[in-house]
C-alpha cells in the first residue's frame, strides 16, 4: 500500500505540473485532475485504516442507542463518555433504522468526510480569490489530500474528518457571505468536537469586526449567533437534564489537573507536530508574512483608474465632441465605485485569510492548554494542515491577482502563473506523504495501535463469552475491550466513561485515577491491567493498586508465544479461572510458586 500511495502521488504531481496552465480554462480537465487527487486521498487513508479507541467507545454508545438502552456506555449508567455528539448520532441512526453495522457506517462516513475536505479546500480557495484562477484551488486540494493527520483518521471511525470538514465549510460560508449558514455549521462543529468552540468564537469576532468596519451589517453577527444557539441551547439543556453535567467526562478528566501540568504535556505534543509538519508550517509562515508585509494597492489602482479616465476624457473630447465628453464623464463617475468595489473585495479576502490563520493558531493553542492527546498522529491538530494549505494558496491568489488590468483591446485571461506554484504544492505534498510513512508517530505507531486494539478486542470477546453474566471488568482501554465484550459492564480506570473518576479522581500526569474507588466501590469481577494487548512473556507480579483483594491469573494464547494476565477477585479466583479456562483459545498456566 505504501508503494501505491507513492505512485499515486507521482502521477498526480506529474499531471498537475505538466497541465498547470490548462487547469484554468478546461473545466473537464480540472474535474479529472480533482478526481485523481481524491483517489490519492483515498489511498492515503487506506494506508492507515485503523479504528481508534475513542471510536470504539462511540460505537458502544451507538449500539446501546440502537438496542434501546439510550446514549450510555454501560446500561443504567448515565455517563457522557464521548465528546462527539453529532458524530454519535450520525453513526447510530443507520443502525437503529436499518440495522447497519456501526463500525462500517463510521468508517465509510469518515472516508467520505475526508474526501469532502479535499473538495471544500479547493472550493474555498477559489471563493476567496476574486479572479478566474481555479488552478490555485487544485493546489490546495493536493496539499489537503497529503495531510497525514487527515489520512490517519479518515478511516478510523472517529469524528476527526467530520470536524475538519465543518471547520472548512464554516470558512466557505463566511466567504460566501452566509453568516446564518456559518452559524449552523459552527454549531455542528461544536457538537462534533469541543475544539469547535475556538472556531465559533473566532468566527463570531471576525463577523463583529467586519460589521464595525462596514463590510457587513450588524445583522450578520446577530444572525450567526442566533443560528448557532438554535442548536446549541437545546443540546446543552438535554445534556444537563440527561447526564446532570455540562462538561462530558473525557473533557473533565483532561481538565481536572493543573494548568501547568497540562501545558507541560501540551508543548511536547505541539513541538512533535511541528517537527513532522515543517513543510505546512513554513508554507503558512511565508504566506502570513507576505500577507502582512504586502500593503493593499487596490485603492491606489482605483485612483489611477479615475485619473486615467479623466485624461482620456479630456483628450477625446475635442475629437469626438460632446458625446465623447459625456462618455468620458460617465467613466469618471463610475471609476470611484469600481475602485471601492475592488478595495472592498481585496480587504475582505485578506480578512478571511487572517481568519484562517487565526483558526489554525487558536486550535494549536487549545491543544496545548488541553495537554495534548495520547493517540498517534496528533489528532487534536488534524485541522491545521488543511487550514494552512487553504490560507497559503489563497494568499498567493490574493496577492498576485491582477485586480485592474491595463487597457487592452485584447485582454488575456490569467494563465496560471509560473510552474513554481504546482511544483511547490506537489513537492510539499510528497514530503507530507513521506513523513506520514516514515514518522514514528504515524504509520509505525498506527500499526502497533492496530495490533493492540485487535488483541484487546480478542481478550474482551473471551471475557464476555466465559465470565458470568453481569460481570464487571476494569481496564484502561474500555472501547477495545468492549468491541466484542458483549454484556460486560466495563469500568474505565482513567475516568473517560466514569463520572466519579473523571470529576473527583486524582490527576497525576494528566490522567484521572481513583483506584480505591475502583477496587472498593465498583468492585470489578476481573481487572485487565494492560492496555497494550498481549505480552511476550508470563507476568506474575500484581499491580500494587489491586494487591490484597485480587490475584494474578496468567493465560497463554493457544498456538502463539503470547500471554495475557488478568486479576480475578480473590474470593472468586478459583471459579473465575475455571470459567475462563474453558475458552479454546486461552489456556491457564499457573505462575511458578
> What's the mean per-residue pLDDT of the chain?
86
**Would you state the cell numbers that stand for residue 407, as one nine-digit string?**
487597457
**Would you state the cell numbers that stand for residue 272, as one nine-digit string?**
512533535
Residue 468 predicted with pLDDT over 60: yes
Residue 132 pLDDT grade (very low, low, confident, very high; cuts 50, 70, 90): low
pLDDT digits 0-9 by tens, 321-360 = 444 334 433 443 344 444 434 445 778 889 999 999 999 9
pTM check: above 0.75: yes
Give me the mean pLDDT over the 19-43 stretch: 91
Residue 39 predicted with pLDDT over 90: yes
Residue 530 pLDDT grade (very low, low, confident, very high; cuts 50, 70, 90): confident
Give me the mean pLDDT over the 242-250 stretch: 92
Report DSSP state, residue 214.
T
Q: What is the pLDDT of residue 404?
A: 35
Residues in the chain: 593
Report DSSP letters for 184-204, one per residue: HHHHHHHHH-TTHHHHHHHHH
CB 94 within 8 A of CB 142: no
Sequence-distant (≥ 6) Cβ neighbours of residue 234 within 8 angstroms = none
Distance, CA of 551 to CA of 454 (rounded, Å) = 26
Q: Where is mean pLDDT largest: 12-21, 221-230, 393-402, 447-456?
A: 221-230
pLDDT digits 0-9 by tens, 398-451 = 888 743 333 344 444 444 446 788 899 999 999 999 998 888 888 888 998 899
Residue 509 pLDDT grade (very low, low, confident, very high; cuts 50, 70, 90): low
**Would you state the cell numbers that stand for residue 160, as one nine-digit string?**
476527526
Residue 297 pLDDT grade (very low, low, confident, very high; cuts 50, 70, 90): very low
Instruction: Produce one character per residue of 411-436: b if its CB has 16 or more CB atoms within 10 Å, e if not.
Output: eeebebbeeebbebbbebbbebbbbb
CB 524 within 8 A of CB 472: yes
Distance, CA of 121 to CA of 169 (rounded, Å) = 9
Going from the C-alpha of 591 to that of each of 36, 142, 462, 568, 570, the distances in angstroms are 57, 56, 21, 14, 15
Amino acid at each position: 500500500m505504501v508503494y501505491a500511495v507513492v505512485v499515486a502521488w507521482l502521477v498526480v504531481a506529474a499531471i498537475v505540473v505538466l497541465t498547470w496552465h490548462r487547469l484554468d480554462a478546461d473545466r473537464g480537465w480540472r474535474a479529472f485532475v480533482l478526481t485523481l487527487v481524491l483517489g490519492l486521498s483515498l489511498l492515503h487513508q487506506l494506508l492507515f485504516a485503523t479504528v481508534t479507541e475513542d471510536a470504539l467507545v462511540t460505537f458502544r454508545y451507538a449500539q446501546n442507542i440502537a438496542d434501546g438502552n439510550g446514549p450510555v456506555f454501560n446500561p443504567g449508567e448515565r455517563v457522557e463518555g464521548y465528546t462527539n455528539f453529532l458524530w454519535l448520532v450520525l453513526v447510530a441512526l443507520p443502525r437503529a433504522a436499518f440495522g447497519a453495522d456501526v463500525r462500517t457506517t463510521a468508517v465509510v462516513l469518515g472516508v467520505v468526510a475526508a474526501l469532502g475536505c479535499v473538495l471544500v479546500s479547493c472550493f474555498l480557495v477559489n471563493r476567496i480569490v476574486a479572479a478566474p484562477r481555479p488552478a490555485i484551488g487544485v493546489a490546495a486540494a493536493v496539499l489537503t489530500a497529503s495531510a497525514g493527520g487527515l489520512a490517519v483518521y479518515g478511516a478510523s471511525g472517529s469524528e476527526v474528518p467530520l470536524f475538519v470538514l465543518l471547520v472548512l465549510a464554516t470558512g466557505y460560508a463566511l466567504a460566501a457571505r452566509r453568516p446564518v449558514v456559518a452559524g449552523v455549521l459552527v454549531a455542528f462543529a461544536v457538537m462534533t468536537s469541543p475544539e469547535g468552540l475556538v472556531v465559533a468564537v473566532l468566527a463570531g469576532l471576525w463577523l463583529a469586526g467586519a460589521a464595525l468596519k462596514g463590510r457587513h451589517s450588524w445583522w450578520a453577527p446577530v444572525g450567526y449567533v442566533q443560528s448557532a444557539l438554535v442548536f446549541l441551547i437545546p443540546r446543552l439543556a438535554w445534556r444537563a437534564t440527561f447526564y446532570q453535567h455540562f462538561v462530558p467526562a473525557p473533557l473533565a478528566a483532561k481538565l481536572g489537573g493543573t494548568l501547568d501540568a497540562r501545558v507541560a504535556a501540551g508543548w511536547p505534543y505541539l513541538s512533535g507536530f511541528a517537527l513532522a509538519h515543517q513543510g505546512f508550517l513554513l508554507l503558512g509562515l511565508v504566506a502570513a508574512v507576505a500577507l502582512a508585509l504586502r500593503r493593499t494597492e487596490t485603492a491606489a489602482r482605483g485612483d489611477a483608474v479615475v485619473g486615467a479616465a479623466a485624461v482620456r476624457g479630456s483628450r477625446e473630447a475635442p475629437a469626438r465632441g460632446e458625446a465623447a465628453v459625456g462618455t468620458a464623464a460617465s467613466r469618471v463617475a463610475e471609476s470611484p465605485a469600481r475602485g471601492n468595489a475592488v478595495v472592498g473585495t481585496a480587504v475582505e479576502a485578506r480578512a478571511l485569510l487572517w481568519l484562517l490563520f487565526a483558526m489554525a493558531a487558536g486550535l494549536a493553542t487549545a491543544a496545548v492548554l488541553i495537554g495534548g492527546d495520547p493517540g498517534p498522529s496528533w489528532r487534536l491538530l488534524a485541522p491545521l494542515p488543511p487550514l494552512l494549505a487553504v490560507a497559503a494558496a489563497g494568499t498567493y491568489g490574493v496577492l498576485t491577482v491582477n485586480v485592474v488590468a491595463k487597457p487592452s483591446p485584447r485582454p488575456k485571461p490569467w494563465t496560471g502563473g509560473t510552474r513554481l506554484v504546482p511544483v511547490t504544492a506537489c513537492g510539499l505534498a510528497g514530503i507530507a506523504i513521506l513523513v506520514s510513512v516514515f514518522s514514528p508517530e504515524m504509520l509505525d505507531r498506527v500499526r502497533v495501535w492496530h495490533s493492540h486494539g485487535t488483541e484487546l478486542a480478542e481478550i474482551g470477546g473471551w471475557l464476555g463469552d466465559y465470565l458470568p453474566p453481569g460481570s464487571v471488568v476494569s481496564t484502561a482501554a474500555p472501547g477495545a475491550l468492549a468491541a466484542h465484550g458483549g454484556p460486560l459492564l466495563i469500568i474505565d480506570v482513567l475516568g473517560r466513561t466514569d463520572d466519579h473518576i473523571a470529576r473527583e479522581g486524582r490527576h497525576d500526569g494528566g490522567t484521572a485515577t481513583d483506584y480505591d474507588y475502583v477496587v472498593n466501590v465498583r468492585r470489578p469481577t476481573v481487572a485487565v491491567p494492560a492496555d497494550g494487548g498481549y505480552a511476550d512473556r508470563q507476568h506474575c507480579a500484581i499491580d500494587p493498586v489491586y494487591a490484597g483483594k485480587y490475584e494474578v491469573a496468567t493465560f497463554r494464547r493457544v498456538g502463539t508465544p503470547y500471554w495475557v494476565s488478568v486479576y480475578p477477585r480473590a474470593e472468586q479466583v478459583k471459579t473465575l479461572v475455571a470459567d475462563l479456562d474453558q475458552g479454546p483459545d486461552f489456556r491457564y498456566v499457573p505462575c511458578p510458586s
